[in-house]
Amino acid sequence: MKFISKIACIATLFLVSSANAAFIDFNDYSATEYSNQYKAGTATVDNGGSTLTLDGNLWVDILVNTTLTSTSILNFTFEANGLNAELYGIAFDIDDSFSVSEMGDFAFVGGSQSTMFPSANVLSDYESGDGVVNFSIEIGQYITGSFNRIVFILDNDENWSGSVASFTNVEICDNILVCQSSSVTQVAEPSHIGFAGLAIMLVGALRRKIKK
């Protein structure tokens, strides 16, 4: 077992929060180009709708209305293979617009260029081949409000093909008692890091290699 060492922050989720938590079924949504960040590749749905896999160099979003409350928790499982990408991430927004000046509103789970951004935006130092990582974030401790989309990021401008990233069992729940991700490792509440706009806080989670 390996511990993620860095506290960080990343994205914002778009699901209708309810007492009855449920994983996002990607079959129910269309993963479409986000802003001008869809360069090349494909977005496919696997595992009966529980997994969104990105292959190439692309950012996609799905339109889901979500209200985050003070008790909301974000869970997801991440895995990357192939060439190590420049950025892996998950973010939330209220429109289809992005510019480099807004990078401070995003956070990343890893990639070769993640260290180019302020440490507050870096969730971990994940690299392709590190295996399956489960994240559980008390998102409501850091952001509340209403959003209309979630963005999934696989950025590799140097190599437009050969990188793969998968996001599985993405869910938002109102409290730990109703979360569906019973296998997700819970993480302690991180020290305060402020964020504006779209953001989710994440602190050191437990990395677990999962044998297939």
Closest CA to 7 of 159, 168, 141, 144: 141
Rounded to two decimals, the pTM is 0.71
Cβ contact 90:117 at 8 Å:
no
Residues 88-110: tens digit of each pLDDT: 987 878 888 887 766 655 657 78
Residues 180-196: tens digit of each pLDDT: 754 443 433 333 333 33
N-terminal to C-terminal alpha carbon distance within the chain = 16
Task: Assign residue 103 the CATH number of its domain.
Answer: 2.60.120
Residues 7-64: tens digit of each pLDDT: 333 333 333 333 345 899 999 999 999 888 878 899 999 999 999 999 999 999 999 8
45 belongs to a structural domain: yes
Q: Based on the structure, what is the number of domains in the chain?
A: 1
CA distance 204 to 107: 14
User: Could you give the 3-state DSSP secondary structure of residue 170?
Assistant: strand
122 belongs to a structural domain: yes
Strands (E) located in 69-204: 73-82, 87-93, 108-110, 122-126, 133-137, 145-155, 163-173, 200-202
Enclosing domain of residue 75: 2-207
212 belongs to a structural domain: no
Neighbours of 83 (CB within 10 A): 15
Q: Which residues pair with 80 in a beta bridge?
A: 165
